[in-house]
Structure 1
């Protein structure tokens, strides 16, 4: 008779316990952190090859993520870009096409002007925002940084910092703009709260960085100052570094609280920026514009154990971020969202079956809050190497120098051979111009604005 003790019951119990723990972890909703840079060029990161700007924390995030180097935002202006990230819709659909009602038609802070501001904010009510959709599933959500559409509660967040219009000082973030520049404590406290309540969470981290004012800590100014570098450029470089530091603090909190493995991190920039070396401001063909300096951004997705860290070569857009977040959280995706749910591609590694992405540019000052076409300046499409840019005759008001529109004919660029868009090859490729112009028109028709679709 075998008198040796058996460990089978103990081993079986251990296996059952491990299975239950694994199943519980698998069933736990995925947390989401959306990191938004504000006014940063697509080139201005270590992982994107910048020779001088140091971004070690975002470089580490890139090593752990699916990285799309050819990422884009449909509109190169912060407010419409951010509303796209709240709703998943293009500016021409959500209706917030610029930053402010045009002061040409009503003085700022006049009754009419403020009525128009309120009307723009009310457009958000036509859509279910990301925090509202996730809230139905029990998520808590926190807003910090930039936010134009009233208070954080108005946008569907359960927690946040921005009081918003019509509160005093409410425009594009008020108290929320302190995040990053004055520490990260509000987010840390929120993370402690969700951990204590055992709730899934969504974090909107949109700091006023590296956005002007370019006033970095002196220790970072010392790092980038040199006799052969303009002071304006040194300040901007230091701001990019400062933003990276805050991203490291945020991701460190996630790690320290044991939340890393069940948290989807998404990274994107609201719009681009090319620093003017001669003054405090942006150079031509950057912020607000439909050129690469305005619309291109790296886009990253990290979810340990589910999204394989890799370099992706496909074209993607920030229009994809909302359906992808909703899918990761197990929320239903509205059928009318134009973007793609990338989760199946991110988890399987399969290529994205889409060959064309689209965008549109409107004036900073909204000529008519009821008519997006009134301020339409450009529409564009990118297919493979080629980008077609069409120019429209919408009203600009301020920022005339940003949008000279001296070339009204189609502009076609080979973005691989000419990433800075120096050579318009529309005259040499009328077939490509016609094909992409037809695609832009099929995207949605423009009824009032004038446009040239052939190069003559």
Structure 2
């Protein structure tokens, strides 16, 4: 509604002796982010063993995008993109960590003065980037960070409150106190919700527990449940962690229900990146985390907003960077001009988008000031066709991969040699999106 139309309505109401028309209040926003969970590892996504009854219920009440994607399959850049609505090459948090200092490893490396200075520089990127909490604060939202957070103190992300202190000089890296949430209860989250509700203030909650992330230490009752069905103890632990995480989501959703907040709250769910459990060790298998494959970048994305979003299922590919524009639009705000995502509640625009893109970087940055220096792959999905385009500076022995996801969802058959025209077409789309030029020789 434009200001001119609003003024006319108010004037008409006053002329008729009535009150000015009430404007809809912006919704509370609860963002739930799974940490290292594969896109199919939910019962609502068809997993035959893992039980996720609370997220199943959320999905049934939501607009569910079964083909959601994160642009980068590593925790820090992915989370930064969710918060800012920017691609990693835009916000420049491309990697989990700065470059390792020459000749140093372990504790000596992370305590190196140059390494710590680089970490502070990476954190400072959040001060220069837009973020959901910063934008929502203009609408008097209170915001709370709980769980994984790589951006130093929560204030760097624009949160008004939070759990992570994030002092790199004291070992703060990816959450410190925030990592207790979920695994050690939900007290801080509930206290924040109750406080905001008591003040009648709209709120934004970042609930990103380190779950089902390693270490996989589920309650014994859940581990016993999966031991008989899983192919190994390590897989059973991971499956049990998925259900434990689901239980915490249920506690959060129940708290909204019990306090009469669900009808006024937009709940958003996704995972920061995928995970395929190595059956023999507490680590991820290839083609999952850190990879451009579906096991690394794909995630379901759910949006529940009672009375505003009709529950339905979509197979249209969408991105995590779409969430910031979606949430801001719901709050009556305009996304920052550098945000390239779409409002996922605008179905026409979602249907009109021809392709989505992403980028995979090295775990430790090569040069924190030059995103392309750390690039490993760029990828594009147009319809059911997916191109993975390697970056020669960091993946010199690999070639382009092309997959038909409709007939080969497991990406087992590289069709690049048979489809040079499709390769060239998708490559041009990628280059137009981000040419990935580097300043390094």
Counterpart-to-counterpart distance in 1, 2:323 and 2:178: 22
The aligned counterpart of 2:345 is 343
Structure 2 SS opposite 1:352: helix
Residue pairs, 1:181-220, within 5 angstroms: 181-220=183-222
Given that 1:315 and 1:355 are in contact with CA atoms closer than 8 Å, whether structure 2 keeps it comes out as: no
Are residues 1:41 and 2:43 paired? Answer: no
Are residues 1:32 and 2:29 paired? Answer: yes
Are residues 1:84 and 2:85 paired? Answer: no
Residues 287-328 of structure 1: per-residue CA shift (max 9 Å, x gap): 011000000000111101110000112110001011111111
Counterpart-to-counterpart distance in 2, 1:124 and 1:262: 29
Residue pairs, 1:340-419, within 5 angstroms: 340-345=342-347, 352-395=351-394, 405=395, 408-419=398-409
Number of matched pairs: 417
Structure 2 SS opposite 1:216: coil
Which residue, 414, 427, 437 being the options, matches 2:427?
437
- Gap change, CA 1:154 and 1:350, over 3 Å in 2: closer
Counterpart-to-counterpart distance in 2, 1:429 and 1:227: 41
- Gap change, CA 1:207 and 1:394, over 3 Å in 2: farther
With normalisation by structure 1, the TM-score equals: 0.88
Given that 2:145 and 2:162 are in contact with CA atoms closer than 8 Å, whether structure 1 keeps it comes out as: yes
The aligned counterpart of 2:125 is 123
Structure 1 position 27, deviation (Å): 1.7
- Gap change, CA 1:141 and 1:227, over 3 Å in 2: closer
The aligned counterpart of 1:152 is 154
Structure 1 position 344, deviation (Å): 2.7
Structure 1 position 407, deviation (Å): 5.7
Structure 2 SS opposite 1:123: helix
Structure 1 position 139, deviation (Å): 0.4
Structure 2 SS opposite 1:154: helix
Given that 1:141 and 1:201 are in contact with CA atoms closer than 8 Å, whether structure 2 keeps it comes out as: yes
Residues 361-386 of structure 1: per-residue CA shift (max 9 Å, x gap): 00001111111111110000000110
The aligned counterpart of 1:55 is 52
Which residue, 246, 249, 255 being the options, matches 1:247?
249
Which residue, 284, 292, 304 being the options, matches 2:294?
292
Structure 1 position 48, deviation (Å): 0.3
Identify which range, 328-337 or 238-247, moves more after superposition: 328-337
Structure 2 SS opposite 1:93: helix
Identify which range, 335-344 or 379-388, moves more after superposition: 335-344
Given that 1:328 and 1:343 are in contact with CA atoms closer than 8 Å, whether structure 2 keeps it comes out as: no
Runs (4 or more) in structure 1 with deviation over 4 Å come to none
Which residue, 307, 310, 330 being the options, matches 1:308?
310
Counterpart-to-counterpart distance in 1, 2:120 and 2:412: 41
Structure 2 SS opposite 1:33: strand
Given that 2:27 and 2:331 are in contact with CA atoms closer than 8 Å, whether structure 1 keeps it comes out as: yes
Structure 2 SS opposite 1:101: coil
The aligned counterpart of 2:111 is 109
Structure 1 position 228, deviation (Å): 6.0
The aligned counterpart of 2:262 is 260
The aligned counterpart of 2:7 is none
Given that 1:373 and 1:394 are in contact with CA atoms closer than 8 Å, whether structure 2 keeps it comes out as: no
Structure 1 position 188, deviation (Å): 0.8
Counterpart-to-counterpart distance in 1, 2:260 and 2:397: 54
Residues 148-196 of structure 1: per-residue CA shift (max 9 Å, x gap): 1011122111111110123623110000000000000111111111111
With normalisation by structure 2, the TM-score equals: 0.91
Given that 1:274 and 1:287 are in contact with CA atoms closer than 8 Å, whether structure 2 keeps it comes out as: yes
Residues 259-290 of structure 1: per-residue CA shift (max 9 Å, x gap): 11111111110000000111111011000110
Counterpart-to-counterpart distance in 1, 2:209 and 2:350: 32
Counterpart-to-counterpart distance in 1, 2:86 and 2:118: 21
- Gap change, CA 1:207 and 1:170, over 3 Å in 2: same
Structure 1 SS opposite 2:58: helix
Counterpart-to-counterpart distance in 2, 1:167 and 1:315: 41
The aligned counterpart of 2:13 is none
Structure 1 SS opposite 2:417: helix
Counterpart-to-counterpart distance in 2, 1:372 and 1:192: 41
Structure 1 position 329, deviation (Å): 1.1
Structure 1 SS opposite 2:89: helix
Residue pairs, 1:322-337, within 5 angstroms: 322-337=324-339
Residue pairs, 1:90-101, within 5 angstroms: 90-101=87-98
Residues 354-406 of structure 1: per-residue CA shift (max 9 Å, x gap): 020000000001111111111110000000110000111344xxxxxxxxx58
